[in-house]
């Protein structure tokens, strides 16, 4: 995985220093990008949805991807940090799975290059799904006979019930979890009345204050970088912000925690701002409860700005225009369990 | 709640003693019965589905009705006993919610008269959803603003966000969780080719061995008794069965545990046999892993019979004919969470 933290950081600061030139407002594409190695098919998407909702390949049989990424709501779990097997708490707030397909790298620190890679992480994280290793997880899936025809439909004959194919199916499903068509997207597509006057004020404030320097592009998660290249920023940038202490924003050193490289201290992948209405509480540690407070914290810690109440409410109104619409989804049908799977 | 354990028990034993006269095979009705006090409406069903899938009124925000009653699979949770908040284990195996609407009383011991009453139990069970009390659970729902219009749609204007209405909505949703149209139902409706010769042998064995004495009626859970009157049987009846010790079947004293009445020792509500393919492991303690073993255990402990392998495989083939079809379901959309709901 190539990383370009220095370039990205410079880009962000330059844009801010230049007074945040008016960005080009672009709508979210109707389809997420797919890697050539994993073209989406309906069979793959359906299998991926089954796996996404299946708690049986967590150690206790109680935690699925959907447990912490609830796609019936905001694609996260409305908790500061998630709870995995045996009541254990995670270290960071679950990021939303909605529109993750538009990110150039996954996890809060961008350590997974693709959705396919990301899918294998939580299964074997001891405080998340808690499986001993990936072969043990696949053994669970193989012992559920009813999965085999779905793998065959998606990947053909032969030895196809593999972790690589399970990850491909999950990624294909996640590429359907996108929300083009929000009020903002309709505005960006030329429907000028789609945003209220207050939301338009918010859009202008979002740009002029400097939010758009990092939260740019149709997904508000940065420029379109090559797959596997995370768009990283330092957070907090202004450590003198009073919020850094009050919300404990610097305790977790971000990408450094997984790479151990000094240059990665406090670097984080810039998250999407879509569907924030649904993803409280905010920040990597889930410490900020409301959207207005999240706006104040970011302005202070990243831009050294104290916003007026009017700026905050306008920006929040704009962020609310980045909500949904969420696609209708049928529930998957999961195949039956052999009685000794979880004893 | 009226109970008629003695009558029921006698009825069961008489039928067995008489050599199990050929039962009338009846198909499951296309609709579940509804109490006059809670007629189903689409708005009520939709609200009930939202509540059923919402983990936010468990203490930790991680356990919903669907966690232990997974309607994407068998309506239970494929574990011997369930895991609730803080990793705590329950005392009995989660019964399936599929076709619970056809039972005359709820829970393994029939202690809840209606689906409406049952719905209030797990929310405040300390090892299940763990809320302090029902008002605390309703406070959670009231603080999720987006629920109010759904309660209004279902129950009209005024102070309608109440526990009674939440329970009514949940019950209305559960009355849609039924599986008429199985191979057996088509057979019972006159389509004689719907069962294979082996399944027909199994049907005859099911009757002649005596299973149908208790597992009678279209839901295979006993006669149609007035709502609130559980169809109770003693289990195990033949305590000399070697399975009683090997599967620890007599440790839990059933209805006695909730009533404290001597007459209720080892009385259990007769469960449905529909969708057993999906509900392993079996028995109130989830101790029996496979369906053939469950058939052997029941024949031994309830009828003092040791079945031949051919009888077992035939009866299992018949039980497999009681599977599905499961209705297609759209996922509900849950309203967003205020950021301080679960801190």
Domain at B312, CATH number: 1.10.760.10
**How many domains does chain A contain in total?**
2
Q: How far is A336 from chain B (nearest CA, A)?
A: 5
Domain presence at residue A237: yes
Distances, alpha carbon B220 to alpha carbons B211, B213, B275, B319, in Å: 9, 10, 11, 10
Q: Structure tokens of A140?
A: 């669970």
**What pLDDT does A20 receive?**
45
- Looking at the structure, tell me whether residues A64 and A155 fall in a common domain: yes
Domain boundary among B108, B143, B174: B174
Domain presence at residue B213: yes
When pLDDT is averaged across residues A152-168 and rounded to a whole number, the result is: 98
Name which of A68, A71, A78, A83 to mutate to probe chain B: the one with the most chain B Cβ atoms within 10 A of its Cβ: A78
- Looking at the structure, tell me whether residues B111 and B235 fall in a common domain: no
Q: What does residue A232 show for φ and ψ, rounded to 5 degrees?
A: -105, 145
- Looking at the structure, tell me whether residues A237 and A151 fall in a common domain: no
Helix (H, G, I), strand (E, B) or coil at B252: coil
- Looking at the structure, tell me whether residues B219 and B242 fall in a common domain: yes
The radius of gyration of chain B from alpha carbons, rounded to an integer in Å, stands at 20
Closest residue of A to B53, CA-based?
Answer: A72
Q: Which residues of B, range 314-333, sit inside 8 Å of A by Cβ?
A: 326, 328-333
Domain presence at residue A219: yes
Assess whether pLDDT exceeds 60 at residue A148: yes
Domain presence at residue B36: no
Which residues in chain B touch residue A177, judged by CB atoms under 8 angstroms apart? none
Nearest to B78 among A83, A278, A341 (CB): A341
- Looking at the structure, tell me whether residues B164 and B223 fall in a common domain: no
Q: Is B253 on the interface with A (CB under 8 A)?
A: no
Q: Do A278 and B337 touch (CB under 8 A)?
A: yes
Q: Is A128 noted as a catalytic residue in this protein? A: yes
Nearest to A78 among B74, B289, B341 (CB): B341
**What pLDDT does B308 receive?**
98
Q: How far is B284 from chain A (nearest CA, A)?
A: 14
Domain presence at residue A305: yes
Domain presence at residue A335: no
A12-70 pLDDT per residue, tens: 333 444 444 567 899 999 999 999 999 999 999 999 999 999 999 999 999 999 999 99
A99-139 pLDDT per residue, tens: 999 999 999 999 999 999 999 999 999 999 999 999 999 99
When pLDDT is averaged across residues B106-116 and rounded to a whole number, the result is: 97
Q: Is A55 on the interface with B (CB under 8 A)?
A: yes
d(CA A260, CA A276): 31
Largest CA distance in chain A: 64
When pLDDT is averaged across residues A235-261 and rounded to a whole number, the result is: 98
Q: Do B78 and A61 touch (CB under 8 A)?
A: yes
Q: Do A337 and B78 touch (CB under 8 A)?
A: yes
- Looking at the structure, tell me whether residues A25 and A115 fall in a common domain: no
- Looking at the structure, tell me whether residues A309 and A217 fall in a common domain: yes
Tokens 């109680």 belong to A62
CA A232 to chain centre: 14
B272-316 pLDDT per residue, tens: 999 999 999 999 999 999 999 999 999 999 999 999 999 999 999
User: Helix, strand, coil shares of chain A as percentages rounded to 5?
Assistant: 40, 5, 55
Q: How far is A309 from chain B (nearest CA, A)?
A: 19
Domain presence at residue A332: no
**A/B interface, count of CB pairs below 8 Å:** 127
**If we measure between CA atoms, which residue out of A331, A64, A35 comes closest to residue A175?**
A35
Q: Is B71 on the interface with A (CB under 8 A)?
A: yes
Q: Do B78 and A289 touch (CB under 8 A)?
A: no
What residues contact residue A204 under an 8 Å CB cut-off, 6+ apart? none
Asked casually if ipTM beats, i.e. exceeds, 0.90, the reply is yes
pLDDT band at B24 (very low <50, low <70, confident <90, very high): confident
d(CA A218, CA A181): 11
Nearest to B331 among A77, A331, A342 (CB): A331
- Looking at the structure, tell me whether residues A144 and A193 fall in a common domain: no
Q: Is B339 on the interface with A (CB under 8 A)?
A: yes
Q: Which domain holds residue A120?
A: 42-174
Which residues in chain A touch residue B71, judged by CB atoms under 8 angstroms apart? 331
d(CA A339, CA B99): 21
- Looking at the structure, tell me whether residues A149 and A268 fall in a common domain: no
**What pLDDT does A196 receive?**
98
Q: Is A46 on the interface with B (CB under 8 A)?
A: no
Q: Do B336 and A277 touch (CB under 8 A)?
A: yes
Domain boundary among B119, B154, B174: B174
Per the residue annotation, which of B128, B174, B311, B320 is the catalytic one?
B128
Nearest to A331 among B56, B277, B329 (CB): B329
Q: Do A61 and B73 touch (CB under 8 A)?
A: no
Domain boundary among A174, A196, A211: A174
Assess whether pLDDT exceeds 90 at residue B22: no
Whole-model pTM: value is 0.94
Q: Do A60 and B80 touch (CB under 8 A)?
A: no
Which residues in chain B touch residue A289, judged by CB atoms under 8 angstroms apart? 338-340, 343
Closest residue of B to A64, CA-based?
Answer: B67
Q: How far is A323 from chain B (nearest CA, A)?
A: 11
Asked if B295 and B282 touch (Cβ cutoff 8 Å), the reply is no
Q: How far is B110 from chain A (nearest CA, A)?
A: 25
B217-231 pLDDT per residue, tens: 999 999 999 999 999
Closest residue of A to B285, CA-based?
Answer: A343
Helix (H, G, I), strand (E, B) or coil at B171: helix
- Looking at the structure, tell me whether residues B295 and B245 fall in a common domain: yes
Domain presence at residue B329: no
Q: What does residue A233 show for φ and ψ, rounded to 5 degrees?
A: -140, 155
- Looking at the structure, tell me whether residues A261 and A165 fall in a common domain: no
CA B338 to chain centre: 34
Q: What does residue B203 show for φ and ψ, rounded to 5 degrees?
A: -60, -45
- Looking at the structure, tell me whether residues B250 and B279 fall in a common domain: yes
d(CA A195, CA B290): 59
């Amino acid at each position: 995985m190539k990383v370009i933290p220095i370039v990205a950081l410079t880009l962000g600061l330059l844009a801010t220093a230049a007074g945040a030139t008016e960005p080009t407002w672009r709508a979210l594409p109707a389809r997420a990008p797919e890697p050539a190695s994993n073209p989406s098919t309906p069979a793959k998407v359906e299998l991926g949805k089954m796996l996404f909702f299946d708690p049986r390949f967590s150690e206790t049989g109680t935690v699925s991807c959907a447990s912490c990424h609830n796609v019936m709501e905001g694609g996260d779990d409305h908790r500061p940090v998630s709870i995995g097997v045996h009541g254990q708490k995670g270290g960071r707030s679950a990021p939303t799975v909605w529109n993750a397909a538009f990110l150039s790298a996954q996890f809060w620190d961008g350590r997974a290059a693709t959705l396919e890679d990301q899918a294998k992480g939580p299964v074997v994280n001891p405080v998340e799904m808690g499986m001993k290793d990936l072969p043990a997880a696949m053994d669970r899936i193989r012992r559920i006979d009813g999965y085999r025809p779905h793998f065959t439909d998606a990947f053909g004959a032969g030895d196809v019930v593999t972790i690589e194919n399970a990850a491909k199916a999950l990624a294909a499903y996640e590429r359907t979890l996108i929300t083009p068509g929000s009020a903002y997207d309709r505005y960006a597509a030329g429907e000028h009345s789609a945003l209220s006057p207050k939301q338009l004020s918010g859009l202008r404030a979002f740009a002029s204050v400097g939010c758009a320097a990092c939260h740019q592009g149709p997904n508000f998660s940065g420029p379109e970088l090559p797959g596997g290249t995370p768009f990283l920023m330092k957070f907090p940038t202004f450590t003198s912000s009073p919020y850094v202490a009050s919300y404990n924003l610097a305790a977790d050193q971000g990408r450094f925690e997984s790479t151990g490289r000094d240059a990665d201290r406090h670097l984080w992948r810039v998250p999407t701002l879509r569907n924030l209405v649904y993803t409280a509480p905010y920040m990597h540690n889930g410490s900020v409860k409301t959207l207005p407070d999240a706006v104040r914290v970011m302005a202070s810690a990243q831009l050294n700005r104290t916003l007026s109440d009017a700026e905050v409410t306008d920006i929040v109104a704009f962020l609310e225009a980045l909500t949904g619409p969420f696609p209708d989804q049928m529930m998957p049908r999961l195949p039956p369990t052999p009685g000794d799977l979880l004893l």
